[in-house]
Amino acid sequence: MKYFKTRRKKGSLIFAILGIVLMIASIITICWWETTGRAQFLYSEVLVLNQSVKANTAITEDMLGIIKISPGTFIEGAVVDKEKVIGKTTAQYIPKYSQLNLTYFLGEKVEAVKEDLYIFTIPADWIITFPNSLRRGDMVYFYPVKIVDEKVEENKSLNSSGSIKVTKESDLVKSEIAYLKDSGNREVVDTVGEDRFDASANIASIEIITNWKDFSYLQGLAEVNYKFIILYKDLK
């Protein structure tokens, strides 16, 4: 009889210990699930802004962050790849921690400038006229015009007076627009989709991507009283 009582006590002790172990394991499992497990198994990554951003702001990598949330709370068209928005310009104010959609952005991305190219601001006094519909990424052509007695005179031939004869498009200096800025140093972008009818501001400054040869050529012409008409082809 004493033997059975001893075994019963040992069995009860074992079950009590097992119960405590299972209880602790359950608490640990619940805590793990609520802190990391749910996110690890049920949540997916989505791109957000780590700061509030105003309209007409170019997005850089340090403005972006990744969070994990339930896919059911993703907005329509949520962006998950940083490369899709880095370099794009915001079309509106976007609050901090907002998920991103490509419709929140305007214009094309600014690609990395190659090693032999430079971004150069065209001095305002070099320019006679340019289309107000210019936008970043456009390919433009610089048509040189000689200034004589403060009047614009189109050059017709290469002669001793230093005029330049432009006979074909390849004779023009061709460059890509890097940025267009307004008087407040904000980028000028379209305000309605991809149409060029409405701009966010008037263009006050033009920055182009060019090589040293073309920069030197433009500068040399400017030093002998040439100014430029800026042309472009709208292929959209």
The CATH number of residue 48's host domain is 3.90.1210.10
- Among the three residues 71, 86, 106, which one is the final residue of a domain in this structure? 106
pLDDT tens-digit series, residues 98-108: 888 887 876 55
Q: Mark whether 188 and 224 lie in a shared domain.
A: yes
The residue among 207, 204, 232 whose CA lies nearest residue 143 is 232
* Average pLDDT score, the chain: 75
Helix (H) or strand (E) holding 181: strand 173-181
Beta bridge partners, 205, equal 181
Inside any domain, residue 35 = no
Q: Mark whether 102 and 158 lie in a shared domain.
A: no
The two structure tokens encoding residue 177 = 């627009």
pLDDT of residue 160: 41
User: For the chain, how many structural domains are there in total?
Assistant: 2
pLDDT tens-digit series, residues 170-220: 678 898 888 888 887 777 776 655 566 677 788 889 999 888 889 999 999
Q: Mark whether 48 and 98 lie in a shared domain.
A: yes
Inside any domain, residue 1 = no
Inside any domain, residue 55 = yes
Q: Mark whether 185 and 101 lie in a shared domain.
A: no
pLDDT tens-digit series, residues 102-135: 878 765 555 545 667 888 899 999 999 998 888 8
- Among the three residues 106, 135, 152, which one is the final residue of a domain in this structure? 106
- Among the three residues 73, 106, 139, which one is the final residue of a domain in this structure? 106
Q: Mark whether 172 and 210 lie in a shared domain.
A: yes
CA 176 vs CA 9, 144, 151, 210: distances in Å = 88, 17, 29, 7
Q: Mark whether 221 and 121 lie in a shared domain.
A: yes
Q: Mark whether 140 and 183 lie in a shared domain.
A: yes
Which comes out higher in pLDDT, residue 40 or 51?
51
Inside any domain, residue 10 = no
Inside any domain, residue 54 = yes
The C-alpha atoms of residue 89 and residue 187 are separated, in whole angstroms, by 8
pLDDT tens-digit series, residues 2-42: 554 555 656 666 666 776 777 777 676 666 556 665 555 56
The C-alpha atoms of residue 159 and residue 168 are separated, in whole angstroms, by 18
CA 204 vs CA 122, 131, 141, 180: distances in Å = 10, 12, 18, 8
pLDDT of residue 230: 93
Q: Mark whether 58 and 149 lie in a shared domain.
A: no
- Enclosing domain of residue 97: 44-106
Q: Mark whether 98 and 167 lie in a shared domain.
A: no
Q: Mark whether 127 and 226 lie in a shared domain.
A: yes
pLDDT of residue 127: 93
Inside any domain, residue 26 = no
Inside any domain, residue 36 = no
- Binned at pLDDT 50, 70 and 90, residue 92 comes out as confident
Q: Mark whether 67 and 135 lie in a shared domain.
A: no
Inside any domain, residue 8 = no
Q: How many CB atoms lie within 10 A of CB 234?
A: 10
Q: Mark whether 63 and 121 lie in a shared domain.
A: no
